[in-house]
Amino acid sequence: MASEYSDDGSDQQSERCGSYSLSADVSESESCSSFSCRRFDGEGCSSSMTSSPRLMAAGGFAFQVPVIGGKDVVIWDDDDEKTEKRDTDLSGIEMMKERFAKLLLGEDMSGGGKGVCTALAISNAITNLSATVFGELWRLEPLAPQKKAMWRREMEWLLCVSDSIVELVPSVQQFPGGGTYEVMVTRPRSDLYINLPALKKLDAILITMLDGFREAEFWYVDRGIVVGDGGDCGAYSSSVSGGRPSIRQEEKWWLPCPKVPPNGLSEDTRKKLQQCRDSTNQILKAAMAINNSVLAEMEIPTAYLETLPKTGKACLGDIIYRYITADRFSPECLLDCLDLSTEHHTLEIANRIEAAVHVWKQKDQRKHMNHMKGRRSSWGGKVKGLVSDSEKNNFLSQRADTLLHSLRVRFPGLPQTALDMNKIQYNKDVGQSILESYSRVMESLAFNIMARIDDVLYVDDAVKHCAEAESNSLFSRSGLSGRPIQRRMSPSPFSIQHTPYASPFATPTFCSSTPITGSPGRAASSLNRNGIKEEPDWKHEKPYAAEFEKVWSYTGNLSARRVSENAPERD
Amino acid sequence: MPAGCKNSAMIFNSEMEQMKEKFAKLLLGEDMSGGGKGVSSALALSNAITNLAASVFGEQSRLEPMTADRKARWRREISWLLSVADHIVELVPSQQKSKDGTNMEIMVTKQRIDLLMNIPALRKLDTMLIDCLDNFKDQNEFYYLSKDAPDSEKGKSKRKDDKWWLPTVKVPQDGLSDKCRKNLQSQKESVTQVLKAAMSINAQVLSEMEIPENYIEALPKNGRASLGDAVYRSITVEFFDPDQFFSTMDLSSEHKILDLKNRLEASIVIWKRKMNQKDAKSAWGSAVSFEKREQFEERAETILHIIKHRFPGLPQSSLDISKIQYNQDVGQALLESYSRILESLAFTVLSRIEDVLFADNTSQNPKSQSCKWNSSKDESQPNSVSPGFDTNAVSAMTLSDLLTWSLDQNDYDEKADATDEMSNDVDGNGQKLTAVTNRGCD
């Protein structure tokens, strides 16, 4: 279900015609799936680790509309500033009109009215725009000016719809001669009023942060060159800095390799990077919070409710059902018993629990309605039976809700559940869709930036260790390894080579895997020369990590959820 | 930046802001709460065009050029709305030569053919109408009295219809000069052409629009139920003669004609559906065979065709209204609404020309008051009906006479008297037209 977008962002000439117009031109069936897995072009897909980043938008639908022929390319003429401004203004208007026209057509370029609703069109447009602009965020460097301009301009257009979304509130006004009367006035809808400025601020902070990396001490080298770069610092350091790259770098072979000066980064730079990382983390959390709150507010689509199984038991499978309906119910205990080894499994479990919650809620409602209607006819024992049944449904749905909540707390980075995706897909509320997509896009961006910072820090650490090791005796047993041990922020079972456990729904086997904290687990990764494993001291450096990365770093989960970025790995 | 530059930049920016707001409202489908309960884009655009026309042309009560700012606003806003059509495309094959000289056929995008043909045509009609009004820029022969002027001033030129809000035309004592009159006539000709063209585009788009499900669901079960017994009997006679049919119909008022049209249209839809269904059941239940049904359908279509020609000014039928309301196709919505408002505008201009010619005529022939000033269409509501006229008779008579029954749906009750008055003179449409011709009010 991966939707890839052609990466035309770097081509300024085609910027106007190619990048966003192509990315926006997905017909309805594709757009249903397109929002759910936001893959940034440069990062590939979490499901297909080695997929090429430069895949064209998938065809096979009504039609794809590539560049609309016949439009003039924008020419940046530096000679006559005035005409340039006018030209850009005019072409700016043309672009704006084109953007709005496409939104109005609901992505159906045949005009036939089989497009998507405005809410989904805007949501997709925001997502596609961010993929175009930030999709190639492979380095920590300022955004190219035209990309920045494009981002600002187009977001302004897309967000200006929200300016017209209002709600009526009563307000008291004065008569000229004294006395008051109450009149309804319009004001911006409250959720937009609160959240949109916040999101815009997060946006600005992130872009400014990128701008801050203008003249950094580190630089990047493309992969192809690294291999041949052995001559520089000697075989030793080259093996460190270029030899065996981090796991992520392995998987994402297209990412350029960060390089630091021979002695590592200066203290200042390091501090600055750390600060950036921290603030990006905060932004990430904020964006996630907004996204979650908007999703929670969205209406549950009837399409979802219709596809639910008939009984809670069918949703959950025997094991979980038994545990939920047991007398003593402890969510934590149950979660411990389940196989939550891979993200896929956990997501499946979350989906099922959510489904059960709604099945029971629906039953509860129906019973209540029937109870109301059938009050006359049901007497005596029958009444009792009905009451206890409805109570049971309510009770079970509450338990399931608690369980889901615990699951979410345990795995903060859980990807979107099936219900979330359905909500987004069938949502009609324009304001909510703007908030949801904007916050999701900000999450992705924040995550990417964090990953890039981590890359640089990793290389820096590697180099510093290398330098230390050089200054110490090579054969000292005090245990400095030849290279830093890679600490995965996600535990070993999540590696690609991991064999999947049996699904708890299929066979009643339990896997009692205890949640693994962020300690390094992968013996295979540390190909260290001296065969000495070093207890990484990053654990101490980053105590915060353990708190919310119990089993999984949510950054790792975001990879599947939004951006294709695996957990930033550190050695 | 120099002052002039700054000003124009400010104006430019404010225009951009206006455009953004307009598009935002369109996207919200007129539902300002953002809740998604708005109308479809197609209907939103259609309404936007209609409302724009109402606000811009609603006040065109005199035969004079449009004010500059209104003209600018019209041009600007209509181009925003129509710009959506630029992006409605279809894939067409095209030949391309690749580098090694081989011919390759690839699909390219091209603007959808109906829009490609019609939108430039409609824009041209638009320009023609505005230019026509501009034509009367510096004329100094006729002038207007405000509607509040006392009756004594209005004198014999006082409007005899109900449109009290329109100002009265005054011409010089001896009437207009020949040159002026000729000018008016030629303008009338061209505006008539515009009107015809707009009507034909509108009719064509309406015929292409899909019949909405709501309409189909609301249809009666069979043709007989929809037509009513009397009409059904007339349609299903052995030997069908359209004239005979019309003679049996009561076509005294526009309302009745419209009713007949609605019923016929409904029956045609019902019969077409039945013919397409190929249900084995139909052989059982219906008394009407497939061939007969086909025949009745053809007859009904013939009648509709004749009605269209004899009563060109008929308001929109319920099928038309339903089509417009539930239409989802943005391109068609644009074409339909644009052509409809151009029709209205053309009719307005035509009426204004007629006003002047009538006043001139009255001043010259004070005795021949035989041209009854019957109620003409209410042109200040471009939203509603499409006016029309008989193409053959245009040169021979005044528009007002032709359009005796071109009533706005809203006020046809008031005008019923006028038409009844008129219908007393004639007992058939053909005769009606000839009777009017004889009057020769020109």
Task: Domain B18-207+327-414: give its CATH code.
Answer: 1.20.58.2010
Instruction: Kindly list the distances between the CA atom of residue B116 and the CA atoms of B82, B107, B111, B126, B194, in Å, as whole numbers in the listed order.
Output: 12, 18, 6, 16, 19
Residue B299 in this model has a pLDDT that exceeds 80: yes
A412: CB partners within 8 A, 6+ apart: A288, A548, A554, A557
Residue A318 in this model has a pLDDT that exceeds 50: yes
Share of chain A above pLDDT 70, in %: 59
Q: Residue A448: which of A40, A29, A3, A18 has the closest Cα?
A: A40
Distance, in Å, from the CA atom of A166 to the CA atom of A190, rounded to the nearest integer, reads 8
**Is the CB of A164 less than 8 angstroms away from the CB of B24?**
yes
Distance, in Å, from the CA atom of B202 to the CA atom of B279, rounded to the nearest integer, reads 35
The per-residue pLDDT for A75 is 41
**Is the CB of B19 less than 8 angstroms away from the CB of A97?**
yes
Residue A491 in this model has a pLDDT that exceeds 70: no
The per-residue pLDDT for A485 is 44
Instruction: Kindly list the distances between the CA atom of residue A556 and the CA atoms of A490, B144, B145, in Å, as whole numbers in the listed order.
Output: 7, 78, 79
Which of B7, B87, B94, B106 should we substitute to test contact with A (largest number of A Cβ atoms within 10 Å)? B87
CA of B227 vs chain A CAs: smallest distance (Å): 33
The per-residue pLDDT for A81 is 56
| pLDDT averaged over every residue in chain A | 69
**Is the CB of B87 less than 8 angstroms away from the CB of A98?**
yes
Write b or e for each residue in A509-545: b if 16 or more Cβ atoms lie within 10 A of its Cβ, otherwise e: eeeebeebebebbbeebbebebeeebebebeeebeeb
Residue B284 in this model has a pLDDT that exceeds 80: no
Q: Which band of pLDDT confidence, cut at 50, 70 and 90, is reported for residue A284?
A: very high
Intervals of CATH 1.20.58.1310 along chain B: 210-325
Largest CA distance in chain B: 86
Residue of B nearest to A85 (CA): B9
The per-residue pLDDT for B415 is 37
Distance, in Å, from the CA atom of B212 to the CA atom of B322, rounded to the nearest integer, reads 7
The per-residue pLDDT for A198 is 95
A162 CB neighbours in chain B (<8 A) are 34
Task: Domain B210-325: give its CATH code.
Answer: 1.20.58.1310
Any chain B CB within 8 A of the CB of A43?
no
Q: Which of A67-81, B104-118, B246-260 has the lowest mean pLDDT?
A: A67-81
Q: Which band of pLDDT confidence, cut at 50, 70 and 90, is reported for residue B279?
A: low
Per DSSP, A79 falls in state S
Contacts 24+ apart (CB under 8 A), B302-307: B302/B242, B303/B235, B303/B242, B303/B245, B303/B246, B303/B264, B304/B261, B304/B264, B304/B265, B304/B268, B306/B242, B306/B246, B307/B257, B307/B260, B307/B261, B307/B264
Which 3 state secondary structure label does DSSP give A144?
coil
The per-residue pLDDT for B161 is 67
The per-residue pLDDT for A38 is 42
Residue A374 in this model has a pLDDT that exceeds 60: yes
A512: CB partners within 8 A, 6+ apart: A336, A337
pLDDT tens by residue, B187-244? 999 999 999 999 999 999 999 999 999 899 988 888 888 888 888 888 888 888 888 8
Per DSSP, A185 falls in state E
The per-residue pLDDT for A508 is 39
Any chain A CB within 8 A of the CB of B28?
yes
The per-residue pLDDT for B3 is 65
Write b or e for each residue in A226-250: b if 16 or more Cβ atoms lie within 10 A of its Cβ, otherwise e: beeeeeebeebbbbbbbbbbbbbbe
The per-residue pLDDT for A260 is 85
Q: Structure tokens of A280?
A: 């990006």
The per-residue pLDDT for A421 is 92
CA dihedral (A295, A298, A303, A307) positive or negative: positive
The per-residue pLDDT for A423 is 93
The per-residue pLDDT for B122 is 95
Helices then strands, each counted (H, E), chain A = 21, 4
How many alpha carbons lie under 13 Å from residue B20 in its C-beta half-sphere? Answer: 22
Residue A32 in this model has a pLDDT that exceeds 80: no
Residue range A105-115: mean pLDDT, rounded: 83
Q: Which band of pLDDT confidence, cut at 50, 70 and 90, is reported for residue A474?
A: low
Any chain B CB within 8 A of the CB of A428?
yes
Per DSSP, A493 falls in state G
Residue A199 in this model has a pLDDT that exceeds 90: yes
Residue A550 in this model has a pLDDT that exceeds 50: no
CA angle B416, B420, B424 (to 5 degrees): 175
Total number of residues shown for chain A = 571
CA dihedral (B288, B290, B295, B301) positive or negative: positive
Residue B304 in this model has a pLDDT that exceeds 70: yes
Distance, in Å, from the CA atom of A177 to the CA atom of A171, rounded to the nearest integer, reads 18
Q: Structure tokens of A318?
A: 């025997």
Residue A243 in this model has a pLDDT that exceeds 80: no
Total number of residues shown for chain B = 442
Does residue B168 contact residue B145 with C-beta atoms inside 8 Å? yes
The per-residue pLDDT for A223 is 75
Any chain A CB within 8 A of the CB of B11?
no
Specify which residues A427 forms β-bridges with.
Answer: none
A161 CB neighbours in chain B (<8 A) are 23-24, 27-28
Give the DSSP letter string of B371-408: S--PPPP-TT-TTSPPP---TTTGGGS-HHHHGGG---
Residue B272 in this model has a pLDDT that exceeds 90: no
Q: Which band of pLDDT confidence, cut at 50, 70 and 90, is reported for residue B158?
A: low
Does residue A417 contact residue A102 with C-beta atoms inside 8 Å? no
Residue range A540-546: mean pLDDT, rounded: 40
Q: Which band of pLDDT confidence, cut at 50, 70 and 90, is reported for residue A509?
A: very low
Residue range A465-490: mean pLDDT, rounded: 57
| pLDDT averaged over every residue in chain B | 77
pLDDT tens by residue, A422-470? 999 999 999 999 999 999 999 999 999 999 999 888 888 888 888 777 7
pTM: 0.69
Instruction: Kindly list the distances between the CA atom of residue B137 and the CA atoms of A417, B64, B126, B143, B415, in Å, as whole numbers in the listed order.
Output: 68, 6, 18, 12, 34
Residue of B nearest to A25 (CA): B87
**Is the CB of A100 less than 8 angstroms away from the CB of B32?**
no
Intervals of CATH 1.20.58.2010 along chain B: 18-207+327-414
Write b or e for each residue in B401-410: b if 16 or more Cβ atoms lie within 10 A of its Cβ, otherwise e: bbbbbbbbbe
Highest mean predicted confidence (pLDDT) among A258-267, A400-409, B69-78:
B69-78
Q: Which helix (H) or strand (E) holds B355?
A: helix B330-364
Burial bucket for residue B106 (CB in 10 Å: 0-12, 13-18, 19+): exposed
pLDDT tens by residue, B80-104? 999 999 889 898 888 888 888 888 8
Side chain identity at residue A31, one-letter code: S
CA angle A356, A360, A364 (to 5 degrees): 170
B205 CB neighbours in chain A (<8 A) are none
Share of chain B above pLDDT 70, in %: 76
Any chain B CB within 8 A of the CB of A189?
yes
Rounded to the nearest angstrom, the gap between the alpha carbon of residue A249 and the centroid of all alpha carbons in its chain is 20
Q: Which band of pLDDT confidence, cut at 50, 70 and 90, is reported for residue B78?
A: very high
Burial bucket for residue A193 (CB in 10 Å: 0-12, 13-18, 19+): middle
Any chain A CB within 8 A of the CB of B90?
yes
Q: Which band of pLDDT confidence, cut at 50, 70 and 90, is reported for residue A145?
A: very high
Does residue A82 contact residue A47 with C-beta atoms inside 8 Å? no
Q: Which band of pLDDT confidence, cut at 50, 70 and 90, is reported for residue B1?
A: low
**Is the CB of A105 less than 8 angstroms away from the CB of B87?**
yes
Q: Which band of pLDDT confidence, cut at 50, 70 and 90, is reported for residue A58?
A: very low
Q: Which 328-347 residues of chain B touch chain A by CB within 8 A?
A: 328-332
Q: Structure tokens of A529?
A: 């020369």
Q: Which helix (H) or strand (E) holds B170?
A: strand B168-170
Q: Residue B75: which of B91, B59, B52 has the closest Cα?
A: B52
Residue range A20-37: mean pLDDT, rounded: 38
Of B170 and B18, the structure prediction assigns the larger pLDDT to B18
Of A63, A105, A189, the CB nearest to B41: A105
Does residue A550 contact residue A517 with C-beta atoms inside 8 Å? yes
CA of B104 vs chain A CAs: smallest distance (Å): 17
Rounded to the nearest angstrom, the gap between the alpha carbon of residue A300 and the centroid of all alpha carbons in its chain is 21
Q: Structure tokens of B194?
A: 């515009």
Residue A261 in this model has a pLDDT that exceeds 90: no
Q: Which band of pLDDT confidence, cut at 50, 70 and 90, is reported for residue B355?
A: confident
**Is the CB of A429 less than 8 angstroms away from the CB of B35?**
yes
A216: CB partners within 8 A, 6+ apart: A140, A141, A269
Residue A97 in this model has a pLDDT that exceeds 60: yes
Q: Which band of pLDDT confidence, cut at 50, 70 and 90, is reported for residue B254?
A: confident
pLDDT tens by residue, B98-128? 888 888 888 988 888 899 999 999 999 999 9
Specify which residues A500 forms β-bridges with.
Answer: none
Residue range B345-352: mean pLDDT, rounded: 89
Q: Structure tokens of A127?
A: 């997502």
